[in-house]
Structure 1
Amino acid sequence: MKLFVVRHGETEWNAQKRLQGHLDSPLTVNGIHHAELLSKRLKSTCFASIISSPSERAMHTARIIRGNQTLAIETDKRLKEINLGSWQGKTFEEIKEMDPDRFENYAKHPNQYYREEKEAENLTDVVTRVKDFLKDTEEKYQTGNHLIITHGVVIKVLQLICKNYSIDKIWEPPEIEGTSLTIIEIKDGERKLLVEGDISHKE
């Protein structure tokens, strides 16, 4: 079984360096173009399922990559980006001003990052739901290729899980750019990263 995990294409807020979280903004011209290039790259891969975050930026990317295939796009809210509460919709600079210590932890000391806001998630919350998603997907499908369209933090968490790393290593390279491809092979209960954050289709 292989999971072809893709980050959504670049959005308007990505270009403005605004954090999106559970909020949303449309794909840019570049984001659409890069998704089209990835669609061509994956054209010969036969997928048994397509599972997307319900966020429109992910769904739009999924529809582009699917192309003319008739396969339905399933949605799973466990693939949504981390909920960043009051930070959502703000630029990095705005967040640094309003919440400097917590933002410092988020960016440089992720194991010390903690949110008390009712709606906001901690990184451990994302780990829990992504592990749950992986377990259910492995039990449901067991074989075949599966296209997963999701978000940057979710993909970094998937890397942590596959490598059995702790949260303090979440921002280690490679960077997860828009439409980057990460491939996870699952065999006999073992999860192996075959490709991480590949963007060769953009070149």
Structure 2
Amino acid sequence: MKKQLTFYFVRHGRTVWNEQGLLQGQGDSPLIAEGIEGAMKTGKHLANIPFVAAYSSVLKRAMDTAEYIIGERNIPFFQHKGLNEHSFGSWEGALVSHLRQNEEYQQMTKDPANFQAKSNRGETFGELAKRAMKAIDEIIQIHHSGNILVVSHGHTLHLLLALFDGSTWQNHRENPRVTRLANTSISIVRYEQAENESAGRFVLETVNSTAHLSCFRQK
């Protein structure tokens, strides 16, 4: 095999804004005690996985989650802007319960193909897909084999997992295998590329596993 990688995708731990029902996007808020504990439980669950590298977005909630998972292990840790959460522009920091009444917000959640991010001046799903997949492609170019930890965000990971499974950014929310991801859930994806292939393939093995978080409530 030219390349054989196993990605462990983890959504960041629960934060203050998650608790308050505020939309985060590329805004940020600190992990709460439950988020820290969830990250530490994830680290304990993955303690025997020999990671060759760890990656996170540049947002502090993802970086902190990754550091709690890594713990005392000597794992090279990098940040990549391409793994950042979907930019929601002017909606960031607003109550999700209020935003649900907004027609364009409803379009974002139900009709990603036609969501243009006009009123909030954030990102479209097409823009998110392009930069997130570029980040994954760059990671693949660096590593030839081994296990890689990636800590990112709800919208970004949901879209990536659906793309790996053959969906498009336009119809990714219709993929029944990829559901809304819980905080510090684990999704495992294999990437394989043969010597004579110009591009490889992704295989979803596990999506949104929370067995290691059984003592935590998830919203």
CA distance in 1: counterparts of 2:201 and 2:109, whole angstroms: 30
- Number of the residue aligned with 2:12: 8
Q: Which amino acid aligns with 2:74?
A: T
Question: What displacement does 1:117 show?
Answer: 5.7
Question: What displacement does 1:118 show?
Answer: 8.1
- Number of the residue aligned with 1:85: 89
Question: What displacement does 1:95 show?
Answer: 2.0
- Structure 2 residue 25 is the aligned partner of structure 1 residue 21: yes
- Number of the residue aligned with 1:194: 205
Number of equivalenced pairs: 201
Question: What displacement does 1:23 show?
Answer: 0.6
| Larger helix share, 1 or 2 | 1
- Give yes or no for contact 1:79–1:150 (8 Å, CA) kept in 2: yes
Q: Any runs of at least 4 consecutive aligned residues in structure 1 with deviations exceeding 6 A, and if so which?
A: none
1:112 pairs with one of 114, 118, 138: 114
Aligned-residue sequence identity (percent) comes to 26
CA distance in 2: counterparts of 1:120 and 1:104, whole angstroms: 15
- Give yes or no for contact 2:185–2:209 (8 Å, CA) kept in 1: yes
Secondary structure, aligned partner of 1:102: helix
Question: What displacement does 1:112 show?
Answer: 1.9
- Number of the residue aligned with 1:179: 184
Trace 1:118-197 onto structure 2 (pairs within 5 A).
119-166=121-168, 167-170=170-173, 172=175, 173-188=178-193, 189-197=200-208
Structure 1: tracts of 5 or more residues without a match: none
- Give yes or no for contact 1:156–1:171 (8 Å, CA) kept in 2: no
Give me the CA root mean square deviation: 1.5
Q: Which amino acid aligns with 2:73?
A: Q
Question: What displacement does 1:175 show?
Answer: 2.1
CA distance in 2: counterparts of 1:109 and 1:192, whole angstroms: 26
Secondary structure, aligned partner of 2:29: coil
2:35 pairs with one of 31, 38, 54: 31
- Give yes or no for contact 1:6–1:182 (8 Å, CA) kept in 2: yes
CA distance in 2: counterparts of 1:40 and 1:159, whole angstroms: 24
1:74 pairs with one of 66, 78, 81: 78
Q: Which amino acid aligns with 1:193?
A: L
Q: Which amino acid aligns with 2:22?
A: R
- Give yes or no for contact 1:78–1:133 (8 Å, CA) kept in 2: yes
Q: Deviations over 1:82-123 (max 9, x none)?
A: 1100000001123235xx110110122222211136851111
- Number of the residue aligned with 1:43: 47
Question: Cα distance 1:114–1:87, how it changes in 2: closer, same or farther (>3 A)?
Answer: same
